[in-house]
Amino acid sequence: MAVYHGPACRLCRREGEKLFLKGVRCDTIKCPFEGEKTRTNPPGQHTWRKKPTDYGLHLRESQKMKRLYGILDKQFRRYVKEAGRMTGNSSENLVILLERRLDNIVYRAGLALSRRHARQIITHGQIRVNGRKVTKPSYQLSEGDEVSAKPVERINNLLTENLETRKKQGITAPSWVSVQEKPLVKANVLQLPSLDEASHAFKTNLVIEYYSK
């Protein structure tokens, strides 16, 4: 399972916007985009800027999408191909496939502080889907599926703390996910998300065009 282990803030700087890859840290002065001494320039020795080409715009949008969801190129290409095989709009299908990932729903429900954190919780066996242990972050959830904590008080308390932290940040679950806090933390997928309900506004058509070349 290939995962990017490099500095997360470097990815945000390269895309020129906050991708919220480090949870609570993204709202503190430690974030390059916060505080008096902001560092919004791209990383690297030669941080020149010029008007991007059409290819550059397509590339940047696809890179942004991969980095936000924590996916490398090989796996992302498979999502694009699958979205093209599905009926309906390919752009919307791609977003739905990415939003249905288990690590994304654990994060968006508030049970983890970031997608990286959600991935760690899942691979450590702390999450159950419909009562069954799932350790695959890319597991695709369907309408009606239930996500819950491992039936251990310590794990349940951990997810509850994460949920409270996200609430203090003013972040709540999307309308297509319902969250139950007591007696145990649970999240239910009420329906499949739409393009407008994605966690970030993407120009998905540029991504589809980039991978169709």
Provide the pLDDT for residue 180.
86
Instruction: Encode pLDDT of 31-48 as tens digits.
Output: 666 666 666 666 666 555
Within 10 angstroms of residue 135's Cβ, the number of other Cβ atoms is 12
Instruction: Encode pLDDT of 7-16 as tens digits.
Output: 665 665 666 6
In this structure, are residues 185 and 161 in contact, taking their beta carbons and an 8 Å threshold?
Answer: no
* 124 conformational bin, left if phi > 0, alpha if psi -120 to 50, beta if neither: alpha
CB environment 157-168: b (16+ within 10 A), e (fewer): ebbbebbeebee
Instruction: Encode pLDDT of 75-124 as tens digits.
Output: 999 999 998 888 888 888 999 999 999 999 999 888 888 888 899 999 99
Within 10 angstroms of residue 91's Cβ, the number of other Cβ atoms is 18
For each of the domains in the chain, give its residue range(s) and CATH number, in order of start.
Answer: 99-189 (3.10.290.10)
